[in-house]
Amino acid sequence: MIVDYHTHTELCKHAHGSVEEYVQRALALGFDEIGCSDHAPLPGNYDERHRMTLEEFYSQYAPKVTDLIEKYRKRIRIKRGIECDFLDWAAEWNLKFIAENDFDFVIGSVHFVGPRGEEKPLFGREYEEVEIEALYEGYFLEIAKSAKAGLFDIIAHCDIVKKFGAFASKRVEGLMWEALSEIKKADLCIEINTSGLRKPERETYPGEKVLTLARDLKIPLTLGSDAHNPDHVGMDFKLATSLINKYGSGRISVFEHRKRTEVKVSHLRGVAQS
């Protein structure tokens, strides 16, 4: 089976293409499943430049996904997902939002490090070298907290902080291990996210260092392109599936109504990908 569980559409306001265009691309590639996982709204329209509003979710996104599930049901399985930012102060709001919707899977992600009002975004800015150590430490602390939150099924791009530059220390190594240990305790899976291969670091999120820890802890894996354009669907999945074989015993996690099943990964059957 081959799936792409991480896609974004124009409703995210920083991506391009409609939900249906992503579905059609997945069909052209021969996918068994495609996950719809736009960024979830947050209370008070927090970070509204990168996500839909609650009104847009209910009036546009949710009904469109429902319509497409029925329209394409004989051709491809469309999974109802969401990418939800972990923020301490939004946890109760997120819990209510998730509970009120019939998602097949919920992706948890960390895009902000630090307390509200002092948060450091992991997008749209650069950091000085002297800030990187604290950014890494804060990031893996947040990943550990997100795993313990009881909100998510998949932890997204769980070393994305490396986009600001490589950093290693015993403290960071320990926090990385603790974060992965909490993911294991919570019985979550992590994605192999190929979007990092389209960035200057030219490495999946996570890279093989984290994937080695995940293998040691027997953490399940799944696949996501983090597509922000329909052409990104399934991009670099030849490499991603080789990593699944190496670090996940050739098996991926798939979801239905938030129940996880592990299946054997297969290669794309349609348009060739790098």
Asked if residue 209 has pLDDT above 90, the reply is yes
pLDDT at residue 269, as a whole number: 76
| 192: three-class secondary structure by DSSP | strand
Q: Taking the domains of the chain in order of start, what are their residue ranges?
A: 3-264
- The residues, ordered by sequence, that sit 6+ positions from 142 with a Cβ below 8 Å of its Cβ are 86, 110, 112, 113
Rg (CA), the chain: 17
On the question of a cis peptide bond just before residue 206, with omega within 30 degrees of 0, the verdict is: yes
Average model confidence (pLDDT) across the chain: 96
261, containing H or E segment = strand 259-264
- The residues, ordered by sequence, that sit 6+ positions from 13 with a Cβ below 8 Å of its Cβ are 48, 49, 50, 51, 52
- The residues, ordered by sequence, that sit 6+ positions from 93 with a Cβ below 8 Å of its Cβ are 42, 43
Burial of 103 from C-beta contacts in 10 A (0-12 / 13-18 / 19+): buried
Cβ neighbours, 10 Å, residue 199: 12
pLDDT at residue 271, as a whole number: 55
19-68 confidence digits (pLDDT tens) = 999 999 999 999 999 999 999 999 999 999 999 999 999 999 999 999 99
Partnered with residue 227 across adjacent β-strands are 7
How are beta strands 221-224 and 3-4 bridged, if at all? Answer: unpaired
Instruction: Identify the CA nearest to 264 among candidates 256, 255, 273, 254.
Output: 254
pLDDT at residue 270, as a whole number: 67
Percent of the chain past pLDDT 70, that is, above it, reads 98
Burial of 32 from C-beta contacts in 10 A (0-12 / 13-18 / 19+): middle
Q: Scanning the structure block, which residue is given the tokens 């354009």?
A: 229
Longest dimension (CA), the chain: 54
Question: Once rounded to an integer, what is the mean pLDDT over residues 249-274?
Answer: 87
Burial of 170 from C-beta contacts in 10 A (0-12 / 13-18 / 19+): exposed
Question: DSSP assignment, residue 44?
Answer: G
CATH 3.20.20.140 describes domain 3-264: yes
Rounded to an integer, what distance in angstroms lies between the CA atom of residue 121 and that of residue 131?
13
253, containing H or E segment = strand 251-256
Stated pTM of the model? 0.96
What angle is formed at CA 241 by the lines to CA 155 and CA 172, rounded to 5 degrees? 40
Provide the terminal-to-terminal Cα distance of the chain, rounded to the nearest Å: 19
Question: Once rounded to an integer, what is the mean pLDDT over residues 4-18?
Answer: 96
Read off the pLDDT band of 161 (50, 70, 90). Answer: very high
Question: Once rounded to an integer, what is the mean pLDDT over residues 230-242?
Answer: 97
Q: Scanning the structure block, which residue is given the tokens 């930012």?
A: 85
| 100: three-class secondary structure by DSSP | coil
